[in-house]
Structure 1
């Protein structure tokens, strides 16, 4: 059944060289959500049960978004905005019997006024190949900062004492994670400027990250041998040149993109039960940094 749903998506979307990324994304999404199938805690109608094929169809949509986000080099939320804009453009073109390229940003804005004309123009320029992501960031398109990782902002130091209950909550938060999930969670909170500024391709060949992935039975299959091109290692330099590595061990990029998205979701959930002051407090920073050092020492061999 999983293969049937996956084949239907592949046939419809024609990913070409990115086909393996979709398959990998689909398997990861299924693995992470399998326990929620017909779980009453996840159903709007607790009396109603769903066929597994319906469950897979729902998950395939998430895998599609993750795959296209990887292709475009953007976050999942930005990719969803792209999908919305393209869907409206197609509907307007059909409604008025015009070419999709004749649909204007103003027409799309009239349909969904929460989307600004500026954002719509930036999205269409990117999707139609008239503008790169770097140019969009410079133009501040799609809310600008959505295209950049916020990992490198770092925490602000505030309080001097961490409450024992806060520490217990942090312990529970991290203990429920695998090491690969902890790795990205601690990067997100600001434990490493080095990793916070890495591109997906830089992550893919990092020795520590490879060791962590190799030790995880769920993700070890994403380790491959081949050529890797690191595009603009210093993303803020216009003179920076690509680096091409031949026949090296690397981790498939979908793992990095997926974990980054999941990490942001986990921190958002934690902030629902604890204040940001507690998360970014002085003693909290020390706590997370200690956990980071432990993790790094475990896999830096």
Structure 2
């Protein structure tokens, strides 16, 4: 009799435990669907909220939705203090660097301001100027800002713009080693009668030929050593393109704002989003 009673208690214990376990699992399952606090998201939650806000706006491709870039500016302020202190900086502050875009949103070719159509967003330009002000790595007052699909596109656009119209005297395009490989490959690929890549800048230091313009690429800071380089060539026929893609505090100390006539920056070096082509 006692043995039968023990077996009954054992069966009852197993059955009740199974019921309780199922109740707990159901509560966990349905509870996790109820809100953001238990949706399993951590650092990406803020990006998700911003994407939800953007997706709720009417955006047909001819209108713009400008979200506050406070997270980007906070990220810039953070980098200006951290400099090289931690190689895990971006991962440790992942929520501030996360970007999430809804798949059905797209950019128009132009921006509407009243009855005018412009190809540059004034709101984006204002935020870029603010970003450089916060970081302290570039003078933007009284300067024009031109957008491009990455810094590489802008490098050749600058060569095209600085080259003479007269094909009889093509510009010499030079750089100081080590330099970004695209300086040479891109210049040679798009080579025209107006410009030609001619190697190391130091070769032309003592040149007396002033009939041809010289366009010098200056990589500052340089990659991989981070050295802040200066232009090698001077003179009335010398024009410089300062590649400042790595002039952000997570790569090198900011010793002062860049103040050249033509400087090129890249957002992917700032945020760590290598696939985001914007310069």
TM norm structure 2: 0.23
Greater share of strand residues, 1 or 2? Answer: 2
TM norm structure 1: 0.22
Larger radius of gyration: 2
